[in-house]
Amino acid sequence: MIFDVDGTLIFSEKKDSLAFAATYEKIYRRTFPTIDWRTYPHVTDTTIFDSVIRQHFGRPSNETEVRRFQEHYVELLQYNRRTAPQDYLEVPGARQAIAALEQDSRYLIGVATGGWKWSAEVKLEHVGITIDHRLFSGADGKAAREHIIEEVVAAARELHGAPFTKVVYIGDAIWDVHTTRNLQLDFIGIRRRGDFGLLQQEGARHVIRDYLDYDGFLQLVEEATPPGMPVGA
């Protein structure tokens, strides 16, 4: 079972996205184009950062400046959580669900996030969620979300030492639907505000609001299938 991070286990009402933009503007003194991640070729921190660098400076980003950006970004994430901890919350029931799953021998639990691993770990640590680092992959060195998920699946197979009967990805965004359909992985959507139609129109067959009904969530894990085609396609 593989989880996304932002919007799936935690939420900040775009404050972390705004922190990403603010970090860029502080370092480069240029206006960050948009935090509508759908406008970028891939919804990963690596692609978003590289796309904006290319737009502003006509060149690709490099490892040195990515690391510099990460340092400033993580520093801002940590500062924001110290000064306004109430703004950075878990999706209801997420911490208890992860803790229970970690104790259940039927499951291996991983994280595949479009964010960089360092910043994702900071976000999860704030709400008390920890994931085995061997099954935790972010956008570091990877442009597409498919590659991030595939890295976790490969690590889980190596760790497990036997074939899986099922791989389920849990995510909150339309790009999570698209990615799991591309990979033909079973998918559960989560929309904390209850706007299930956003994902259902993209082909998601199972969508929940939170993890408070843990038994119901486990039932959906068993029933989950890959997303179908978008409505009207």
CATH class of 2-12+89-223: alpha beta
Alpha helices, DSSP H only, in 39-196? 45-57, 63-83, 94-102, 117-126, 145-160, 174-183
1 DSSP 8-state letter: -
Tell me if 187 sits within 8 A of 168, measured CB to CB. yes
| Per-residue model confidence (pLDDT) at position 161 | 82
Pairing of strands 10-11, 110-112: unpaired
Q: Name the pTM for this structure.
A: 0.96
φ, ψ dihedrals at 119, nearest 5°: -70, -35
- Reduced to 3 states, what is the DSSP secondary structure of residue 112? strand
Q: How far apart are CA 156 and CA 168, in angstroms?
A: 12
Q: Would you state the structure tokens that stand for residue 16, as one six-digit string?
A: 């972390």
HSE-up of residue 189 (Cα within 13 Å, Cβ side): 29
Q: Would you state the structure tokens that stand for residue 131, as one six-digit string?
A: 């994931």
Query: 24-28 — which CB contacts under 8 Å span 24+ positions?
Result: 24/49, 24/52, 24/69, 26/72, 27/68, 27/69, 27/72, 28/56
Block means of pLDDT (10 residues each) for the chain, length 233 residues?
98 97 98 97 98 98 98 98 97 98 95 98 97 96 97 93 89 98 98 96 97 98 96 76
Q: Which residues pair with 208 in a beta bridge?
A: 190
Q: Would you state the structure tokens that stand for residue 37, as one six-digit string?
A: 């991640």
What residue ranges do the domains of the chain occupy?
A: 2-12+89-223, 15-86
Instruction: From 83, 153, 86, 98, select the one nearest 128 (Cα to Cα).
Output: 98
